[in-house]
Amino acid sequence: MVNQQRLAETFENLASIDSISRHEFLISGEIQRVLEPFASKMIIDGAGERTGSNTGNLIVEISGNRNAPLLMLNAHMDIVEPGLGVKPRFKDGVFSSDGTTVLGADDKSAIAIIIEVIRVLCENNLPHGPLELVFTICEEIGLLGAKNLDFNFISAQYGYSLDTADTDCIITQAPAMNQFEFLVHGRDAHAGADPEKGINAILIASQAISGLKLGRIDPETTCNIGVIEARGATNIVPNLARVKGEVRSHDEKKLENVTQNIVSAFKDVVEAYKRLHGEETLPCLDINIENEFNRTFIPEDHLVVTLARRAASNLGRNITEKKTGGGSDANIFFDKGIITGVIGTGMRDIHTVRESIRLEDMVKTVNLLLEIIKIHSNGAYQP
């Protein structure tokens, strides 16, 4: 029942629409245009104003023809840069860009899949309960759309986010993440004439970083420093250095411990400098720690897992549970009590100009969702 040519055309059309983060208005309008014949309600929330986007999150309600609880399907509308003027190409069953931009399969393949699912359900009057489609903005810049989603418009208690590669897995565990930023304040001075009068902020930041363990801390925890910035000239002792990084862990206690160890490393270096050089006010430190998202953990016997397994089995496939090191809208939904498994669309080499996706993989996910929805509509939600 899946119309592969229509699915391909839908994806190609979506991929050609500019929709980098904070510029999702056009693609939101296209989704509304396509789904309007099938929707009972469409809502755009106020997240655009809170995130700086030119539109809000789009919530589309599809009425069911069976008495079943709401099931949520989620995808994000924004893509990363370079993402302007995407020219999708299709050859030997594979979509790619022209090599100058990303393709945008992350996450427009998910949008195309959801659209095809709704078309197949409604055009063939297949059994389905009511569906809640949530298309978010600004996912790629910190899950801002989901974080600012008006959850008063969301009624589903569980569902699926389409935002990973592997079409034969369901992600049930994702880490929590803290971001940190340190501003190390030193004192400027002429680097040739009076270096003794300066306090080199870069040197102090480097000493703190040199004592840190970065990369994989343990099987559950990672740490990375991704930004070191300082402005000036080679003949000026730098008076400010900015350091940004992150910690992720599937264990909240470990997340807190690693974060605090990093804070202590910077504080200790600053205080040691003051003691050694008899300084009172400089160097000093500004610290900003933000929790980006909390972890997800879905038990193996939860409905979203058992539904996916049973659907895959009916299709002659096998779905395995998977732990990931990345975050997605599912983390935010989970924190709001909406249990959300993450399933794949087949996208490869995401966030690069080599990004690609096979049409065959998108078809697999359409069929999986159709089977999940059919089983769910027949009462699989009952305890």
Given a contact cutoff of 8 angstroms between Cβ atoms, the answer to whether 222 and 255 are in contact is no
Residue 147, by phi and psi: left (phi above 0), alpha (psi -120 to 50) or beta?
Answer: alpha
Q: What is the mean pLDDT of residues 206-220?
A: 96
| Distance spanning both ends of the chain, measured CA to CA | 31
Q: What is the mean pLDDT of residues 241-269?
A: 98
Q: What is the DSSP letter of 80?
A: P
Given a contact cutoff of 8 angstroms between Cβ atoms, the answer to whether 284 and 271 are in contact is no
Residue 20, by phi and psi: left (phi above 0), alpha (psi -120 to 50) or beta?
Answer: beta
Q: What is the mean pLDDT of residues 59-80?
A: 97
pLDDT band at residue 356, thresholds of 50, 70 and 90?
Answer: very high
pLDDT band at residue 382, thresholds of 50, 70 and 90?
Answer: low
Q: What is the mean pLDDT of residues 109-138?
A: 98
Catalytic entry in 45, 61, 132, 139 = 139
Q: What is the mean pLDDT of residues 327-339?
A: 97
Say what the pLDDT of residue 215 is: 97
Token pair in block for residue 59: 């919530």
List residues bridging with 74 in a β-sheet: 134, 161
Given a contact cutoff of 8 angstroms between Cβ atoms, the answer to whether 309 and 303 are in contact is no
Q: What is the mean pLDDT of residues 290-311?
A: 96
Smallest CA-to-CA distance from 340 within 302, 380, 301, 372 is with 302
Say what the pLDDT of residue 379 is: 87
Q: Decide if pLDDT at 381 tops 70.
A: no
Say what the pLDDT of residue 279 is: 87
- pTM of model > 0.85: yes
What does the pLDDT look like over 170-194, one tens digit per residue? Answer: 999 999 999 999 999 999 999 999 9
Name the CATH superfamily, with its identifier, for domain 4-174+295-380: Zn peptidases (3.40.630.10)
Q: State how far the Cα of 149 lies from the Cα of 335, in Å rounded to an integer.
A: 13
* Residue extents of the structural domains in the chain: 4-174+295-380, 176-293
Smallest CA-to-CA distance from 233 within 279, 283, 198 is with 198
Q: Which of 44-48, 175-179, 368-372, 376-380 has the lowest mean pLDDT?
A: 376-380
Smallest CA-to-CA distance from 329 within 177, 165, 178, 135 is with 135
Q: State how far the Cα of 257 lies from the Cα of 263, in Å rounded to an integer.
A: 10
Q: State how far the Cα of 53 lies from the Cα of 29, in Å rounded to an integer.
A: 14
78 is a catalytic site residue: yes
Token pair in block for residue 16: 């050609």
Say what the pLDDT of residue 289 is: 98
The vertex-196 CA angle with 194 and 199, nearest 5°, equals 110
Output the CATH code of domain 176-293: 3.30.70.360
Q: What is the mean pLDDT of residues 240-252?
A: 98
The label of the residue with tokens 């979506």 reads 14
| Amino acid at site 105 | A
Given a contact cutoff of 8 angstroms between Cβ atoms, the answer to whether 74 and 340 are in contact is yes
Say what the pLDDT of residue 380 is: 72
139 is a catalytic site residue: yes
3-class secondary structure, 247? strand
Percent pLDDT > 70 in the chain is 99
Q: Decide if pLDDT at 142 tops 60.
A: yes
The vertex-304 CA angle with 80 and 8, nearest 5°, equals 45
Say what the pLDDT of residue 125 is: 96
What does the pLDDT look like over 2-37, one tens digit per residue? Answer: 999 999 999 999 999 999 999 999 999 999 999 999
Q: State how far the Cα of 248 lies from the Cα of 192, in Å rounded to an integer.
A: 42
Catalytic entry in 30, 45, 78, 329 = 78
Token pair in block for residue 302: 């939860």
Q: Decide if pLDDT at 383 tops 60.
A: no
